[in-house]
Chains A and B, each alone.
Chain A
Amino acid sequence: MSLLPAALIDGVMYAAWLFLVAVGLTLIYGVMKILNMAHGSLYTIGAYTAITLVTQWLAGGSEPLFSYVLLIVAAVITGVVLGIIIEYGLLRHFYREEPVVLLLMTYAVFLILEDAVKLIWGVEPYVAYEPYGLLGNFTIGTLSYPNYSFVIVGAAILSGVALALFLKFTRYGKLLRAVIHDQEVSKAININVQRYFLYTFIVGAMLAALGGALTAPTISVAPGMGVDVIVLAFAVVVIGGLGSLPGAALGALIVGLVRSFAVHYWPEVELFSIYAVMAIVLAVRPKGLFAAAEPRKI
Protein backbone atom coordinates (compact mmCIF):
# COMPACT_ATOMS: atom_id res chain seq x y z
CA MET A 1 0.00 0.00 0.00
CA SER A 2 1.41 3.33 -0.97
CA LEU A 3 -0.23 4.92 2.06
CA LEU A 4 1.99 3.05 4.48
CA PRO A 5 5.28 5.00 4.15
CA ALA A 6 3.37 8.29 4.31
CA ALA A 7 1.48 7.13 7.38
CA LEU A 8 4.67 6.01 9.08
CA ILE A 9 6.66 9.15 8.34
CA ASP A 10 3.77 11.41 9.34
CA GLY A 11 3.30 9.37 12.46
CA VAL A 12 6.91 9.67 13.53
CA MET A 13 7.02 13.39 12.83
CA TYR A 14 3.81 13.96 14.74
CA ALA A 15 5.17 11.79 17.53
CA ALA A 16 8.25 13.99 17.75
CA TRP A 17 6.10 17.07 18.03
CA LEU A 18 3.93 15.39 20.66
CA PHE A 19 6.96 14.41 22.69
CA LEU A 20 8.34 17.91 22.63
CA VAL A 21 5.01 19.31 23.68
CA ALA A 22 4.36 16.74 26.39
CA VAL A 23 7.77 16.14 27.98
CA GLY A 24 7.61 19.30 30.11
CA LEU A 25 4.28 18.20 31.52
CA THR A 26 5.55 14.81 32.59
CA LEU A 27 8.73 16.28 34.02
CA ILE A 28 6.83 18.68 36.26
CA TYR A 29 4.47 15.94 37.37
CA GLY A 30 7.25 13.49 38.03
CA VAL A 31 9.13 15.85 40.31
CA MET A 32 6.39 17.94 41.87
CA LYS A 33 3.36 15.66 41.53
CA ILE A 34 1.45 18.55 40.00
CA LEU A 35 -0.44 18.28 36.72
CA ASN A 36 0.09 21.71 35.23
CA MET A 37 -3.05 22.69 33.34
CA ALA A 38 -1.39 25.96 32.39
CA HIS A 39 0.90 23.90 30.20
CA GLY A 40 -1.17 24.83 27.15
CA SER A 41 -0.82 28.52 27.94
CA LEU A 42 2.95 28.21 28.20
CA TYR A 43 2.89 26.61 24.77
CA THR A 44 0.74 29.46 23.45
CA ILE A 45 2.83 32.24 24.94
CA GLY A 46 6.00 30.56 23.70
CA ALA A 47 4.51 30.69 20.22
CA TYR A 48 3.44 34.31 20.48
CA THR A 49 6.78 35.43 21.89
CA ALA A 50 8.57 33.58 19.11
CA ILE A 51 6.44 35.18 16.43
CA THR A 52 6.98 38.63 17.91
CA LEU A 53 10.75 38.25 18.10
CA VAL A 54 11.07 36.73 14.64
CA THR A 55 8.82 39.31 13.03
CA GLN A 56 10.78 42.17 14.58
CA TRP A 57 14.07 40.60 13.59
CA LEU A 58 13.11 39.91 10.01
CA ALA A 59 11.49 43.32 9.62
CA GLY A 60 14.87 44.83 10.34
CA GLY A 61 16.18 42.97 7.30
CA SER A 62 18.62 40.94 9.34
CA GLU A 63 20.02 37.45 8.73
CA PRO A 64 17.03 35.06 8.41
CA LEU A 65 18.88 31.99 9.67
CA PHE A 66 19.30 33.67 13.03
CA SER A 67 15.53 33.52 13.46
CA TYR A 68 15.97 29.92 14.58
CA VAL A 69 18.04 31.08 17.49
CA LEU A 70 15.30 33.54 18.30
CA LEU A 71 12.77 30.73 18.51
CA ILE A 72 14.84 29.15 21.23
CA VAL A 73 15.40 32.49 22.93
CA ALA A 74 11.65 33.04 22.96
CA ALA A 75 11.15 29.69 24.66
CA VAL A 76 13.76 30.43 27.29
CA ILE A 77 12.37 33.88 28.09
CA THR A 78 8.82 32.55 28.34
CA GLY A 79 9.86 29.60 30.45
CA VAL A 80 11.95 31.58 32.90
CA VAL A 81 9.60 34.53 33.33
CA LEU A 82 6.37 32.56 33.59
CA GLY A 83 8.03 29.73 35.46
CA ILE A 84 9.16 32.06 38.21
CA ILE A 85 5.84 33.89 38.39
CA ILE A 86 3.78 30.71 38.54
CA GLU A 87 5.95 28.52 40.78
CA TYR A 88 7.69 31.02 42.97
CA GLY A 89 4.87 33.52 43.01
CA LEU A 90 1.92 31.20 43.41
CA LEU A 91 2.10 27.42 43.59
CA ARG A 92 4.96 27.25 46.08
CA HIS A 93 2.72 28.55 48.84
CA PHE A 94 0.15 25.81 48.40
CA TYR A 95 2.11 22.55 48.33
CA ARG A 96 0.46 21.48 51.55
CA GLU A 97 -2.91 21.35 49.83
CA GLU A 98 -4.48 18.30 48.19
CA PRO A 99 -3.46 17.54 44.59
CA VAL A 100 -6.92 18.50 43.32
CA VAL A 101 -6.52 22.00 44.75
CA LEU A 102 -3.22 22.47 42.94
CA LEU A 103 -4.78 21.17 39.76
CA LEU A 104 -7.54 23.75 40.08
CA MET A 105 -4.98 26.47 40.71
CA THR A 106 -3.11 25.63 37.53
CA TYR A 107 -6.47 25.67 35.77
CA ALA A 108 -7.10 29.16 37.11
CA VAL A 109 -3.67 30.24 35.88
CA PHE A 110 -4.53 28.81 32.48
CA LEU A 111 -7.71 30.91 32.35
CA ILE A 112 -5.84 34.06 33.32
CA LEU A 113 -3.08 33.50 30.79
CA GLU A 114 -5.54 32.79 27.98
CA ASP A 115 -7.03 36.24 28.35
CA ALA A 116 -3.62 37.78 29.03
CA VAL A 117 -2.62 36.66 25.54
CA LYS A 118 -5.64 38.45 24.07
CA LEU A 119 -4.90 41.55 26.07
CA ILE A 120 -1.23 41.69 25.07
CA TRP A 121 -1.37 40.51 21.47
CA GLY A 122 -4.98 41.11 20.48
CA VAL A 123 -7.34 38.58 18.92
CA GLU A 124 -6.10 38.69 15.33
CA PRO A 125 -3.87 35.81 14.24
CA TYR A 126 -0.16 36.27 13.58
CA VAL A 127 1.98 34.53 10.99
CA ALA A 128 5.68 34.30 10.35
CA TYR A 129 6.32 31.54 7.84
CA GLU A 130 9.86 32.49 6.90
CA PRO A 131 11.71 30.15 9.25
CA TYR A 132 9.43 27.35 8.08
CA GLY A 133 10.02 27.75 4.37
CA LEU A 134 13.62 28.79 4.62
CA LEU A 135 15.09 25.32 4.66
CA GLY A 136 13.30 23.99 1.62
CA ASN A 137 11.90 20.52 1.12
CA PHE A 138 13.16 17.03 0.70
CA THR A 139 11.47 14.30 -1.33
CA ILE A 140 11.20 10.56 -0.85
CA GLY A 141 9.64 9.02 -3.92
CA THR A 142 6.36 10.79 -4.38
CA LEU A 143 6.29 12.26 -0.89
CA SER A 144 7.59 15.72 -0.14
CA TYR A 145 8.33 17.05 3.34
CA PRO A 146 9.61 20.41 4.52
CA ASN A 147 13.07 20.20 6.02
CA TYR A 148 11.75 22.23 8.92
CA SER A 149 10.11 19.06 10.19
CA PHE A 150 13.58 17.85 11.03
CA VAL A 151 14.04 20.84 13.28
CA ILE A 152 11.14 19.62 15.38
CA VAL A 153 12.24 15.99 15.27
CA GLY A 154 15.74 17.10 16.18
CA ALA A 155 14.54 19.26 19.03
CA ALA A 156 12.46 16.38 20.39
CA ILE A 157 15.33 13.90 20.27
CA LEU A 158 17.76 16.41 21.69
CA SER A 159 15.61 17.35 24.65
CA GLY A 160 14.75 13.74 25.38
CA VAL A 161 18.36 12.58 25.27
CA ALA A 162 19.61 15.62 27.20
CA LEU A 163 17.09 15.05 29.99
CA ALA A 164 17.84 11.35 30.13
CA LEU A 165 21.58 11.90 30.33
CA PHE A 166 21.11 14.65 32.89
CA LEU A 167 19.02 12.44 35.14
CA LYS A 168 21.27 9.44 34.82
CA PHE A 169 24.77 10.84 34.94
CA THR A 170 24.95 14.28 36.52
CA ARG A 171 25.00 14.91 40.25
CA TYR A 172 21.98 17.20 40.11
CA GLY A 173 20.18 14.67 37.99
CA LYS A 174 20.67 11.96 40.57
CA LEU A 175 19.48 14.23 43.34
CA LEU A 176 16.46 15.07 41.23
CA ARG A 177 15.70 11.38 40.89
CA ALA A 178 15.78 11.12 44.67
CA VAL A 179 13.25 13.95 44.88
CA ILE A 180 11.08 12.24 42.27
CA HIS A 181 11.14 9.05 44.26
CA ASP A 182 10.39 10.41 47.70
CA GLN A 183 10.07 14.06 48.62
CA GLU A 184 10.05 13.63 52.36
CA VAL A 185 13.14 11.48 52.50
CA SER A 186 14.92 13.89 50.18
CA LYS A 187 14.14 16.76 52.52
CA ALA A 188 15.37 14.67 55.41
CA ILE A 189 18.76 14.20 53.77
CA ASN A 190 19.00 17.93 53.23
CA ILE A 191 18.22 18.21 49.53
CA ASN A 192 16.82 21.68 48.88
CA VAL A 193 13.60 20.36 47.44
CA GLN A 194 12.12 23.84 47.04
CA ARG A 195 14.90 24.93 44.75
CA TYR A 196 14.62 21.78 42.67
CA PHE A 197 10.91 22.46 42.29
CA LEU A 198 11.59 25.93 40.96
CA TYR A 199 14.22 24.79 38.49
CA THR A 200 12.11 21.86 37.35
CA PHE A 201 9.12 24.06 36.79
CA ILE A 202 11.18 26.54 34.81
CA VAL A 203 12.62 23.78 32.62
CA GLY A 204 9.17 22.24 32.12
CA ALA A 205 7.79 25.64 31.19
CA MET A 206 10.67 26.23 28.78
CA LEU A 207 10.01 22.90 27.09
CA ALA A 208 6.32 23.73 26.70
CA ALA A 209 7.22 27.13 25.32
CA LEU A 210 9.77 25.53 23.01
CA GLY A 211 7.02 23.33 21.60
CA GLY A 212 4.99 26.43 20.91
CA ALA A 213 7.88 28.45 19.58
CA LEU A 214 8.98 25.80 17.12
CA THR A 215 5.41 25.21 15.99
CA ALA A 216 4.69 28.92 15.52
CA PRO A 217 6.27 29.29 12.05
CA THR A 218 4.13 26.43 10.73
CA ILE A 219 0.71 27.75 11.71
CA SER A 220 -1.23 30.93 12.22
CA VAL A 221 -0.85 31.81 15.83
CA ALA A 222 -4.17 32.73 17.40
CA PRO A 223 -5.71 32.79 20.89
CA GLY A 224 -6.88 29.42 22.10
CA MET A 225 -4.20 27.41 20.29
CA GLY A 226 -3.11 25.93 23.58
CA VAL A 227 -6.49 24.58 24.51
CA ASP A 228 -6.29 21.45 22.35
CA VAL A 229 -2.66 20.94 23.23
CA ILE A 230 -3.41 20.37 26.90
CA VAL A 231 -5.61 17.40 26.13
CA LEU A 232 -3.14 15.92 23.63
CA ALA A 233 -0.21 16.34 25.99
CA PHE A 234 -2.18 14.76 28.75
CA ALA A 235 -3.13 11.77 26.59
CA VAL A 236 0.52 11.20 25.69
CA VAL A 237 1.75 11.52 29.23
CA VAL A 238 -0.94 9.35 30.77
CA ILE A 239 -0.47 6.55 28.25
CA GLY A 240 3.21 6.50 29.00
CA GLY A 241 2.85 6.86 32.73
CA LEU A 242 2.83 10.18 34.57
CA GLY A 243 6.34 11.24 35.43
CA SER A 244 8.12 8.78 33.16
CA LEU A 245 10.47 10.12 30.49
CA PRO A 246 10.66 6.93 28.41
CA GLY A 247 6.92 6.67 28.96
CA ALA A 248 6.40 10.06 27.35
CA ALA A 249 8.49 8.99 24.38
CA LEU A 250 6.56 5.74 23.98
CA GLY A 251 3.25 7.50 24.54
CA ALA A 252 4.11 10.08 21.91
CA LEU A 253 5.05 7.34 19.46
CA ILE A 254 1.84 5.42 20.08
CA VAL A 255 -0.41 8.47 19.83
CA GLY A 256 1.49 9.80 16.81
CA LEU A 257 1.25 6.55 14.88
CA VAL A 258 -2.36 5.89 15.85
CA ARG A 259 -3.43 9.35 14.77
CA SER A 260 -1.43 9.17 11.57
CA PHE A 261 -2.88 5.81 10.61
CA ALA A 262 -6.34 7.10 11.44
CA VAL A 263 -5.85 10.14 9.24
CA HIS A 264 -4.58 8.08 6.32
CA TYR A 265 -6.82 5.03 6.51
CA TRP A 266 -9.90 5.96 8.50
CA PRO A 267 -10.25 9.75 8.77
CA GLU A 268 -13.61 9.67 10.55
CA VAL A 269 -12.12 8.37 13.75
CA GLU A 270 -9.15 10.71 13.89
CA LEU A 271 -10.44 13.01 16.58
CA PHE A 272 -11.27 10.39 19.10
CA SER A 273 -8.78 7.70 18.13
CA ILE A 274 -6.35 9.32 20.53
CA TYR A 275 -8.77 9.37 23.44
CA ALA A 276 -9.89 5.83 22.63
CA VAL A 277 -6.29 4.63 22.83
CA MET A 278 -5.91 6.44 26.13
CA ALA A 279 -9.03 4.83 27.55
CA ILE A 280 -7.90 1.36 26.39
CA VAL A 281 -4.40 1.72 27.82
CA LEU A 282 -5.77 2.93 31.13
CA ALA A 283 -8.29 0.13 31.31
CA VAL A 284 -5.47 -2.39 31.02
CA ARG A 285 -2.70 -0.54 32.88
CA PRO A 286 -4.41 1.98 35.16
CA LYS A 287 -1.28 3.97 35.81
CA GLY A 288 0.07 3.98 32.28
CA LEU A 289 2.67 1.83 30.61
CA PHE A 290 5.69 2.80 32.69
CA ALA A 291 4.09 3.33 36.05
CA ALA A 292 6.21 3.65 39.17
CA ALA A 293 5.71 1.10 41.93
CA GLU A 294 3.95 2.46 44.97
CA PRO A 295 5.02 1.75 48.54
CA ARG A 296 2.70 0.16 51.07
CA LYS A 297 0.64 2.66 52.99
CA ILE A 298 -0.41 0.69 56.03
Chain B
Amino acid sequence: MTSRTLISAVGLHKQFGAVVAARDISVDITAQTVSGLIGTNGAGKTTFVNMLTGYLKPDQGTITFEGTDITGREPRDITRMGIARSFQIPQLFTSLTARENLEIALGIAKSPLTRAHEILAQFGLGAYADSVAGNLPEGVRKLLDISLAMVAEPKVLLLDEPTSGVASDEKFAVMDRVMDVIRAAGVTVLFVEHDMDIVRRYSDRVLAFYDGAILAAGAPDDVLNNAQVRQYIIGEPLPTTANAEAPHA
Protein backbone atom coordinates (compact mmCIF):
# COMPACT_ATOMS: atom_id res chain seq x y z
CA MET B 1 0.00 0.00 0.00
CA THR B 2 1.50 3.31 -1.05
CA SER B 3 1.53 5.79 1.79
CA ARG B 4 1.10 9.35 0.66
CA THR B 5 1.38 12.50 2.65
CA LEU B 6 -2.02 14.10 2.97
CA ILE B 7 -1.23 17.06 5.18
CA SER B 8 2.12 18.75 5.48
CA ALA B 9 2.73 21.42 8.10
CA VAL B 10 6.05 23.27 7.90
CA GLY B 11 7.48 25.66 10.45
CA LEU B 12 4.22 26.66 12.13
CA HIS B 13 4.63 29.40 14.66
CA LYS B 14 1.88 31.04 16.73
CA GLN B 15 2.23 33.51 19.54
CA PHE B 16 -0.35 35.16 21.78
CA GLY B 17 1.40 38.11 23.31
CA ALA B 18 4.23 36.60 25.35
CA VAL B 19 2.90 33.06 25.16
CA VAL B 20 4.33 30.93 22.36
CA ALA B 21 1.65 28.37 21.62
CA ALA B 22 3.36 26.84 18.61
CA ARG B 23 7.10 26.77 18.11
CA ASP B 24 8.35 25.86 14.63
CA ILE B 25 6.05 22.84 14.28
CA SER B 26 6.62 20.63 11.26
CA VAL B 27 4.59 17.48 10.81
CA ASP B 28 3.50 15.18 7.97
CA ILE B 29 0.25 13.29 8.17
CA THR B 30 0.00 10.15 6.06
CA ALA B 31 -3.27 9.23 4.40
CA GLN B 32 -5.56 6.78 6.18
CA THR B 33 -3.60 6.78 9.42
CA VAL B 34 -4.82 7.52 12.90
CA SER B 35 -2.66 9.98 14.80
CA GLY B 36 -3.05 10.66 18.51
CA LEU B 37 -2.01 14.08 19.78
CA ILE B 38 -1.05 14.15 23.44
CA GLY B 39 0.34 16.80 25.72
CA THR B 40 -0.48 18.77 28.85
CA ASN B 41 -2.92 21.64 28.76
CA GLY B 42 -1.42 24.62 27.00
CA ALA B 43 1.15 22.49 25.22
CA GLY B 44 -0.14 23.48 21.83
CA LYS B 45 -2.27 20.55 20.67
CA THR B 46 -5.46 22.54 20.34
CA THR B 47 -3.60 25.48 18.78
CA PHE B 48 -2.24 23.08 16.18
CA VAL B 49 -5.70 21.70 15.49
CA ASN B 50 -7.12 25.23 15.31
CA MET B 51 -4.50 26.24 12.78
CA LEU B 52 -5.22 23.15 10.68
CA THR B 53 -8.95 23.86 10.65
CA GLY B 54 -8.73 27.59 10.02
CA TYR B 55 -9.80 28.96 13.38
CA LEU B 56 -6.34 30.50 13.84
CA LYS B 57 -3.90 31.84 11.30
CA PRO B 58 -0.29 30.88 11.98
CA ASP B 59 2.11 33.79 12.39
CA GLN B 60 4.61 31.90 10.28
CA GLY B 61 4.73 28.62 8.42
CA THR B 62 2.56 26.84 5.88
CA ILE B 63 0.04 24.05 5.84
CA THR B 64 -0.47 22.06 2.67
CA PHE B 65 -3.36 19.69 2.08
CA GLU B 66 -3.17 17.38 -0.94
CA GLY B 67 -0.70 19.77 -2.47
CA THR B 68 -2.83 22.87 -1.96
CA ASP B 69 -1.79 25.62 0.45
CA ILE B 70 -4.51 26.02 3.06
CA THR B 71 -2.62 28.29 5.45
CA GLY B 72 -4.89 30.93 6.92
CA ARG B 73 -8.00 29.96 4.96
CA GLU B 74 -11.47 30.30 6.45
CA PRO B 75 -12.90 27.30 8.32
CA ARG B 76 -15.70 26.85 5.83
CA ASP B 77 -13.25 26.70 2.91
CA ILE B 78 -11.11 24.14 4.70
CA THR B 79 -14.21 22.09 5.49
CA ARG B 80 -15.29 22.19 1.88
CA MET B 81 -11.85 20.98 0.83
CA GLY B 82 -12.24 17.89 2.99
CA ILE B 83 -10.96 18.57 6.50
CA ALA B 84 -13.66 18.34 9.18
CA ARG B 85 -13.52 18.57 12.95
CA SER B 86 -15.42 17.78 16.08
CA PHE B 87 -15.27 19.87 19.22
CA GLN B 88 -14.21 19.39 22.80
CA ILE B 89 -17.50 20.91 23.90
CA PRO B 90 -19.98 19.48 21.37
CA GLN B 91 -21.15 22.22 19.04
CA LEU B 92 -24.73 21.25 18.24
CA PHE B 93 -27.89 23.03 17.25
CA THR B 94 -29.35 22.63 20.69
CA SER B 95 -32.85 23.76 19.83
CA LEU B 96 -33.21 21.21 17.02
CA THR B 97 -33.66 17.45 17.22
CA ALA B 98 -30.79 15.08 16.43
CA ARG B 99 -32.31 14.33 13.05
CA GLU B 100 -32.75 18.02 12.28
CA ASN B 101 -29.12 18.64 13.23
CA LEU B 102 -28.03 16.15 10.61
CA GLU B 103 -30.45 17.60 8.08
CA ILE B 104 -28.82 20.99 8.44
CA ALA B 105 -25.42 19.42 7.81
CA LEU B 106 -26.79 17.40 4.88
CA GLY B 107 -28.41 20.49 3.42
CA ILE B 108 -25.12 22.35 3.53
CA ALA B 109 -23.31 19.41 1.96
CA LYS B 110 -26.01 19.24 -0.73
CA SER B 111 -26.70 15.65 0.22
CA PRO B 112 -30.18 14.08 0.29
CA LEU B 113 -31.86 14.64 3.64
CA THR B 114 -32.93 11.00 3.81
CA ARG B 115 -29.34 10.09 4.67
CA ALA B 116 -30.01 11.41 8.18
CA HIS B 117 -31.66 8.15 9.15
CA GLU B 118 -28.71 6.13 7.89
CA ILE B 119 -26.08 8.25 9.63
CA LEU B 120 -27.97 8.14 12.92
CA ALA B 121 -28.05 4.36 12.66
CA GLN B 122 -24.31 4.17 11.90
CA PHE B 123 -23.53 5.99 15.10
CA GLY B 124 -26.13 4.11 17.13
CA LEU B 125 -28.22 7.24 17.65
CA GLY B 126 -31.43 5.98 16.08
CA ALA B 127 -33.33 6.12 19.35
CA TYR B 128 -32.52 9.81 19.78
CA ALA B 129 -33.62 10.93 16.32
CA ASP B 130 -36.51 13.06 17.53
CA SER B 131 -35.01 14.23 20.81
CA VAL B 132 -33.92 17.81 21.14
CA ALA B 133 -30.13 17.98 21.01
CA GLY B 134 -29.88 20.22 24.05
CA ASN B 135 -31.37 17.55 26.29
CA LEU B 136 -29.23 14.62 25.18
CA PRO B 137 -26.77 12.87 27.52
CA GLU B 138 -23.10 13.83 27.11
CA GLY B 139 -21.91 10.69 25.33
CA VAL B 140 -24.74 10.98 22.81
CA ARG B 141 -23.93 14.66 22.23
CA LYS B 142 -20.33 13.74 21.50
CA LEU B 143 -21.40 11.14 18.98
CA LEU B 144 -23.83 13.56 17.34
CA ASP B 145 -21.09 16.18 17.14
CA ILE B 146 -18.79 13.72 15.40
CA SER B 147 -21.55 12.47 13.10
CA LEU B 148 -22.18 16.04 11.96
CA ALA B 149 -18.54 16.33 10.97
CA MET B 150 -18.78 13.09 9.01
CA VAL B 151 -21.78 14.20 6.95
CA ALA B 152 -19.70 15.92 4.28
CA GLU B 153 -17.65 12.71 3.82
CA PRO B 154 -14.36 14.38 4.70
CA LYS B 155 -10.93 13.01 3.88
CA VAL B 156 -9.53 14.13 7.22
CA LEU B 157 -11.29 14.25 10.56
CA LEU B 158 -9.92 16.00 13.62
CA LEU B 159 -11.43 14.91 16.91
CA ASP B 160 -10.85 17.30 19.80
CA GLU B 161 -10.89 15.22 23.00
CA PRO B 162 -13.59 12.84 21.80
CA THR B 163 -13.96 11.08 25.15
CA SER B 164 -13.65 14.00 27.55
CA GLY B 165 -16.76 14.30 29.64
CA VAL B 166 -17.77 10.75 28.78
CA ALA B 167 -18.08 8.34 31.72
CA SER B 168 -15.03 6.07 32.00
CA ASP B 169 -16.99 2.88 31.44
CA GLU B 170 -18.46 4.32 28.23
CA LYS B 171 -15.26 5.66 26.69
CA PHE B 172 -14.31 2.54 24.78
CA ALA B 173 -17.85 2.01 23.58
CA VAL B 174 -17.96 5.53 22.16
CA MET B 175 -14.52 5.35 20.54
CA ASP B 176 -15.12 1.85 19.14
CA ARG B 177 -18.29 3.03 17.49
CA VAL B 178 -16.64 6.18 16.11
CA MET B 179 -13.53 4.43 14.82
CA ASP B 180 -15.59 1.65 13.14
CA VAL B 181 -17.50 4.21 11.13
CA ILE B 182 -14.44 6.27 10.33
CA ARG B 183 -12.21 3.37 9.33
CA ALA B 184 -14.94 1.98 7.10
CA ALA B 185 -14.98 5.30 5.28
CA GLY B 186 -11.21 5.39 4.89
CA VAL B 187 -10.86 8.70 6.68
CA THR B 188 -7.55 9.97 8.00
CA VAL B 189 -7.89 10.81 11.70
CA LEU B 190 -6.13 13.07 14.14
CA PHE B 191 -7.41 13.06 17.67
CA VAL B 192 -6.44 15.02 20.73
CA GLU B 193 -6.65 12.96 23.91
CA HIS B 194 -5.62 12.96 27.53
CA ASP B 195 -6.56 9.35 28.21
CA MET B 196 -3.46 7.26 27.38
CA ASP B 197 -5.41 4.02 27.18
CA ILE B 198 -7.49 5.45 24.37
CA VAL B 199 -4.36 6.78 22.67
CA ARG B 200 -2.61 3.42 22.93
CA ARG B 201 -5.59 1.49 21.65
CA TYR B 202 -6.48 3.48 18.55
CA SER B 203 -3.41 5.33 17.25
CA ASP B 204 -1.12 4.22 14.47
CA ARG B 205 1.11 7.12 15.41
CA VAL B 206 1.44 9.47 18.37
CA LEU B 207 2.55 13.10 18.43
CA ALA B 208 3.57 14.40 21.84
CA PHE B 209 3.37 18.16 22.33
CA TYR B 210 5.20 20.09 25.01
CA ASP B 211 5.61 23.81 25.43
CA GLY B 212 4.52 24.53 21.90
CA ALA B 213 6.83 22.04 20.22
CA ILE B 214 6.64 18.35 19.24
CA LEU B 215 8.62 16.47 21.83
CA ALA B 216 8.37 13.07 20.18
CA ALA B 217 6.63 11.48 17.22
CA GLY B 218 6.35 7.86 16.20
CA ALA B 219 4.78 4.52 17.06
CA PRO B 220 2.62 4.58 20.20
CA ASP B 221 4.86 2.30 22.24
CA ASP B 222 7.96 4.30 21.35
CA VAL B 223 6.46 7.65 22.20
CA LEU B 224 4.59 6.57 25.30
CA ASN B 225 7.70 4.94 26.72
CA ASN B 226 9.94 7.87 25.84
CA ALA B 227 11.55 9.13 29.03
CA GLN B 228 10.87 12.79 28.42
CA VAL B 229 7.29 12.12 27.39
CA ARG B 230 6.73 10.14 30.52
CA GLN B 231 8.31 12.85 32.64
CA TYR B 232 6.65 15.91 31.17
CA ILE B 233 3.34 14.64 29.86
CA ILE B 234 2.28 11.36 31.34
CA GLY B 235 3.74 12.11 34.72
CA GLU B 236 4.79 8.67 35.70
CA PRO B 237 8.36 7.35 35.35
CA LEU B 238 8.90 3.89 33.90
CA PRO B 239 8.25 1.18 36.52
CA THR B 240 11.55 -0.37 37.73
CA THR B 241 10.44 -3.93 36.85
CA ALA B 242 10.58 -2.90 33.16
CA ASN B 243 14.34 -2.45 33.55
CA ALA B 244 14.58 -5.92 35.04
CA GLU B 245 12.90 -7.21 31.89
CA ALA B 246 15.73 -6.03 29.62
CA PRO B 247 16.84 -8.95 27.47
CA HIS B 248 18.90 -11.38 29.50
CA ALA B 249 18.36 -14.57 27.62
Q: Does A298 contact B (CB under 8 A)?
A: yes
- Chain A nearest CB, measured from B29 CB (Å): 22
> How far is B75's CA from A298's CA once the two chains are assembled, in angstroms?
13
A:105-123 near B, CB below 8 Å: none
Encode A51-78 as 1/0 by CB contact (under 8 A) with B.
Answer: 0000000000000000000000000000
> How far is B89's CA from A298's CA once the two chains are assembled, in angstroms?
8
**For A298, what are the chain B residues with a Cβ–Cβ distance below 8 Å?**
55, 87-89, 91
> How far is B47's CA from A298's CA once the two chains are assembled, in angstroms?
11
Give me 5 A-to-B residue pairs in the complex whose CB atoms sit less than 8 angstroms apart, sorted by A's number: A298-B55, A298-B87, A298-B88, A298-B89, A298-B91
Smallest Cβ-Cβ distance to B50: which chain A residue: A298
- Chain A nearest CB, measured from B19 CB (Å): 13
Interface of B is mostly: loop
Encode A266-298 as 1/0 by CB contact (under 8 A) with B.
Answer: 000000000000000000000000000000001
> How far is B87's CA from A193's CA once the two chains are assembled, in angstroms?
31
> How far is B87's CA from A298's CA once the two chains are assembled, in angstroms?
8
**For B87, what are the chain A residues with a Cβ–Cβ distance below 8 Å?**
298
B interface residue count range (under 10 / 10 to 19 / 20 to 34 / 35 or more) = under 10
Question: What 5 pairs between A and B have smallest CB-CB spacing?
Answer: A298-B87, A298-B55, A298-B91, A298-B89, A298-B88
- Chain A nearest CB, measured from B192 CB (Å): 13
- Chain A nearest CB, measured from B74 CB (Å): 15
> How far is B55's CA from A298's CA once the two chains are assembled, in angstroms?
9
Encode B203-240 as 1/0 by CB contact (under 8 A) with A.
Answer: 00000000000000000000000000000000000000
- Chain A nearest CB, measured from B177 CB (Å): 24
Encode B83-124 as 1/0 by CB contact (under 8 A) with A.
Answer: 000011101000000000000000000000000000000000
- Chain A nearest CB, measured from B58 CB (Å): 16
> How far is B55's CA from A276's CA once the two chains are assembled, in angstroms?
33
- Chain B nearest CB, measured from A6 CB (Å): 46
- Chain B nearest CB, measured from A54 CB (Å): 53
- Chain B nearest CB, measured from A292 CB (Å): 16
- Chain A nearest CB, measured from B180 CB (Å): 27
> How far is B91's CA from A298's CA once the two chains are assembled, in angstroms?
9
**For B91, what are the chain A residues with a Cβ–Cβ distance below 8 Å?**
298
- Chain B nearest CB, measured from A101 CB (Å): 15
B:54-79 near A, CB below 8 Å: 55
Smallest Cβ-Cβ distance to B53: which chain A residue: A298
B:181-217 near A, CB below 8 Å: none
> How far is B160's CA from A298's CA once the two chains are assembled, in angstroms?
10
Smallest Cβ-Cβ distance to B91: which chain A residue: A298
> How far is B93's CA from A227's CA once the two chains are assembled, in angstroms?
38
**For B89, what are the chain A residues with a Cβ–Cβ distance below 8 Å?**
298
> How far is B192's CA from A298's CA once the two chains are assembled, in angstroms?
14
Smallest Cβ-Cβ distance to B89: which chain A residue: A298
> How far is B65's CA from A20's CA once the two chains are assembled, in angstroms?
56
- Chain A nearest CB, measured from B120 CB (Å): 24
> How far is B63's CA from A27's CA once the two chains are assembled, in angstroms?
44
A:13-61 near B, CB below 8 Å: none
- Chain A nearest CB, measured from B17 CB (Å): 11
Smallest Cβ-Cβ distance to B88: which chain A residue: A298
**For B55, what are the chain A residues with a Cβ–Cβ distance below 8 Å?**
298
- Chain B nearest CB, measured from A296 CB (Å): 9
- Chain A nearest CB, measured from B51 CB (Å): 13
> How far is B56's CA from A298's CA once the two chains are assembled, in angstroms?
11
- Chain A nearest CB, measured from B164 CB (Å): 14
Smallest Cβ-Cβ distance to A298: which chain B residue: B87
> How far is B55's CA from A297's CA once the two chains are assembled, in angstroms?
11
- Chain A nearest CB, measured from B94 CB (Å): 13
